[in-house]
Structure 1
């Protein structure tokens, strides 16, 4: 089926107590594995792209991958631009076929962040795509953007309300104690803050920094309104480690397709595990009944 807009999908997820898994694709193989895992579980999925992935492959290539696998699929698939500060790239993605775009102006003061985000709101409306924006500073490293723990700023619920009321977002990214990358020690996720923000905004929350969180943390965050959960670092490690492990186990095998298949299967298993963990299994039919 054609790619879907993220806004109604995340609204359905929030209203029905589950979250849609969002994975940062690396290449065509990982894209194919994401959708195949979603199909096996009859679940929606979000294929995300970082700015540097787009710069490496190009808009045209990435859109062709995702459309190729989504057009032949019966489950809802979103193509989403993750953490982007470049308005020209954001508009190019919306124009070329992404069905959701994200502006990350979180390093700016509130008023400037809101002003830039409103400009992106105009782009989203122009092309009829979903939009995510961020308020607060999420610690860690994402797409070469570094935020130290001492520089992270947790999102204030009242600021969140004003921000979301002005933007009518598909997803709201905010700082609640999670971090990009692998955690050093036990993460201190502020569940009360998640609940307060969701009550104030009634906007589906995007939980960034999903790699390394416990099943209990996921469950508590989703129960409080997190409708999109991002997984990136975990995928990178499985993608590389599965290649290394295959060549270690079979040092004389230089058939590329067997190595690629080993990566594909390892990534697909990873995707399926998270989709099921976030409650996405068998959610596609109900969404399609309302929005198909």
Structure 2
């Protein structure tokens, strides 16, 4: 099976009340852990690459790693997606370079300019058989070159979505309903604390999602910044030399609720990083004599596979939907 677009994936996900996981990839072990989990659970899959990942690993290496995954996992559909494309040139480079889906993120621009930029990408992408994700609203947090302060962030305005989609022709839309990029999604002041003293983030704005669905019936919605920041990995990082106080993410039950609605794509990145880093820190602390990267990357890869398996079954609900 060759790389696919997300069109058929999203139609099935919308009708079936589940979401597709869009997992960020940066190296071979991350690609392997994700795709092995999806293969074993027969789950459709989106592997996505950011501008920062392309700068780190090189466009060609990443594409070839994903193409290898397609060969190794012939029973599942896999899409290759550009995450947070900052401009037309980056999107064009990925479209010309083998990606089947791109995101143009002009959400920081005024509404009319966002439409103009997005429409230009859509026209080029559609001419080349590639689909386009766009964004309305601004998520707080940090992801690679995307840095939005709490003051700059704002929820999606539902009254704008229909005009935006009609004028741009985009294929899916990322909205802001309270998710946030990175492992530090919320300040302590934004959260409450439970009986264990753990931070509890504010709930997602499902009222905004519901209003968007009314205005765009049947249209696939995307959630960025949707890592749950598993506390077992935060504790592991901290126990073995790290320093991540008050790192907190999006509760998984809220993401599952969103997946049962119109959300067809849920982005997950920070959780993968935590699983890999925590596992490597633990291994190195327990085996200070080891220096072979294969020895500490093997359990890190296994941790990613276990994490992604959990997300597919318990959060996304897309197991056996390939």
Displacement of 1:247 in angstroms is 0.8
**What is residue 65 of structure 2 aligned with on the other side?**
65
Q: How many residues align?
A: 284
More helix by share: 1
Residue range with higher mean Cα deviation, 170-179 or 45-54: 170-179
Asked if structure 2 preserves the Cα contact closer than 8 Å seen for 1:7 and 1:171, the reply is: no
Residue range with higher mean Cα deviation, 1-10 or 178-187: 178-187
User: Aligned partners of 1:180 and 1:256: how far apart in 2?
Assistant: 29
Asked if structure 1 preserves the Cα contact closer than 8 Å seen for 2:118 and 2:170, the reply is: no
> 1:147-158 residue pairs with structure 2 within 5 A?
147-158=148-159
TM-score, normalisation: structure 2: 0.85
Residue 221 in 1 paired to residue 236 in 2? no
Asked if structure 2 preserves the Cα contact closer than 8 Å seen for 1:243 and 1:259, the reply is: yes
Displacement of 1:66 in angstroms is 0.1
Asked if structure 2 preserves the Cα contact closer than 8 Å seen for 1:198 and 1:204, the reply is: no
Displacement of 1:12 in angstroms is 1.4
**What is residue 4 of structure 2 aligned with on the other side?**
4
Residue range with higher mean Cα deviation, 241-250 or 100-109: 241-250
User: Aligned partners of 2:305 and 2:256: how far apart in 1?
Assistant: 22
User: Aligned partners of 1:95 and 1:267: how far apart in 2?
Assistant: 30
Displacement of 1:53 in angstroms is 0.7
**What is residue 251 of structure 1 aligned with on the other side?**
288
- Among candidates 175, 198, 201, match of residue 216 of structure 2: 201
Displacement of 1:144 in angstroms is 2.6
CA deviations on 1:221-241 (whole Å, 9 max, x unpaired) are 122211110011111122222
Residue 274 in 1 paired to residue 308 in 2? no
Asked if structure 2 preserves the Cα contact closer than 8 Å seen for 1:180 and 1:210, the reply is: yes
- Among candidates 223, 226, 230, match of residue 267 of structure 2: 230
User: Aligned partners of 1:97 and 1:4: how far apart in 2?
Assistant: 11
Displacement of 1:152 in angstroms is 1.2
CA deviations on 1:211-257 (whole Å, 9 max, x unpaired) are 12212201221222111100111111222221111111211122321
Secondary structure, counterpart of 2:124 in structure 1: helix
**What is residue 134 of structure 1 aligned with on the other side?**
135
CA deviations on 1:197-220 (whole Å, 9 max, x unpaired) are 122123211111111221220122
Residue 46 in 1 paired to residue 46 in 2? yes
Q: CA RMSD in A?
A: 1.3
CA deviations on 1:65-118 (whole Å, 9 max, x unpaired) are 000111231101111000111321211111111110000000001000000000
Residue 263 in 1 paired to residue 300 in 2? yes
User: Aligned partners of 1:11 and 1:158: how far apart in 2?
Assistant: 24
Residue 90 in 1 paired to residue 96 in 2? no
**What is residue 17 of structure 2 aligned with on the other side?**
17
User: Aligned partners of 2:170 and 2:20: how far apart in 1?
Assistant: 16
Residue range with higher mean Cα deviation, 161-170 or 130-139: 161-170
TM-score, normalisation: structure 1: 0.94
Displacement of 1:122 in angstroms is 1.3
User: Aligned partners of 2:317 and 2:252: how far apart in 1?
Assistant: 11
